[in-house]
Amino acid sequence: MTQRNNVRLGVLLMIATTLVFATQDGVSRHLAGEYNTWLVVMIRYWFFAGFVVVMASRSAGGLRNAARTRQPGLQIFRGLLLAGEICVAVYGFTLLGLVESHAVFACYPLMIAALSGPVLGERVGWRRWAAIGLGFVGVLIILQPGVGVFDPVAIIPLISSLMFALYGLTTRYAARRDDVSTSFFYTGTVGAVVMTVVGIWFWEPMTPADYAWMLLLCMTGAGGHWLLIKCYEVAEASAVQPFAYFHLVFASLLGMAVFGEVLRANVVAGAALIVGAGLFTLWRERAQG
């Protein structure tokens, strides 16, 4: 379809998307704290795969067209990478909470910018390198590796952001030969298969109340992706992408209000540097696009 460019609507949809995904993270934190990460992510992927299949079947060419790819190895790798990243991220929520996890995870656009040169052959100028460096100073401020005894657990969201950055880069690379519907199809189906193979061994019964929370988790996952798709349908990605940082804001508010997490001064300062550097790299990318 021909993309419109209704920026105001696109911004509203992006903010709604980040609110839904922040809610999903909060529910994931609760469930993974009560049960195990493998089980939670597996059930979440079952619902996501169903959503992907329904979307593909309603698109032009149906399921056969969505499953047709010129690079199956790359598409499978992307699916595995995202499934692993979600497991790492959710596990990090249970150990560090939403505030610190998201503050560090917010650096993934900087990682994409830094790796786009060696992975995709894109040019990264000195201004963006400076912004990338400033952003990683923000990460160090949050992690505080030189203050007292450094807790290795603090590296978990950094690993998650690196995995997500690699997922983003491989998605860009896949787009050179496959369309978006194909990449979306493999993201959901490959993840569901691999998480079932792993997660089924960790099955445990849930309470009726937690089954309701699991249903909410699945609905927010599918709903968030639907909102994101609609967002990119009505507005250019470069115009709405800066508002994706509302995810950090909403997740932090949820962590403090629901889980009693504390917003420390170093986290605020580090996150401000990371977000500022990320917004600058987005602006430079748009200016040179």
Per-residue confidence of the chain (289 residues) as pLDDT tens digits?
444 567 788 889 989 999 999 999 999 999 999 999 999 999 999 999 998 999 888 887 888 888 999 899 999 999 999 999 999 999 999 998 999 899 888 888 888 888 877 777 777 777 778 888 888 888 888 877 655 445 678 889 999 999 999 998 888 888 888 888 898 899 999 999 999 999 999 999 999 999 999 999 999 988 888 888 788 778 776 677 788 888 989 999 999 999 998 888 888 888 888 888 878 877 766 666 5
CA–CA dist 229, 240 (Å, integer): 12
Longest dimension (CA), the chain: 59
Task: Determine the pLDDT at residue 200.
Answer: 95
Closest to 217 in 3D by CA, of 81, 20, 83, 56: 20
Using DSSP's 3-state secondary structure scheme, residue 243 falls into: helix
Task: Determine the pLDDT at residue 285.
Answer: 67
Task: Determine the pLDDT at residue 286.
Answer: 66
Query: Alpha helices, DSSP H only, in the chain?
Result: 7-34, 37-58, 62-67, 72-96, 98-105, 108-120, 126-143, 156-174, 180-199, 208-234, 237-240, 246-259, 265-288
Task: Determine the pLDDT at residue 146.
Answer: 52
- Roughly what angle, to the nearest 10 degrees, separates helices 265-288 and 126-143? 160
Chain mean position to CA 160? 9
Task: Determine the pLDDT at residue 137.
Answer: 85
Task: Determine the pLDDT at residue 2.
Answer: 46
Q: What is the pTM of this model?
A: 0.87
Distances (CA, A) of 264 to 26, 122, 157, 261: 19, 37, 17, 9
The identity of residue 194, as a single letter, is V
Task: Determine the pLDDT at residue 232.
Answer: 78
CA–CA dist 68, 72 (Å, integer): 9
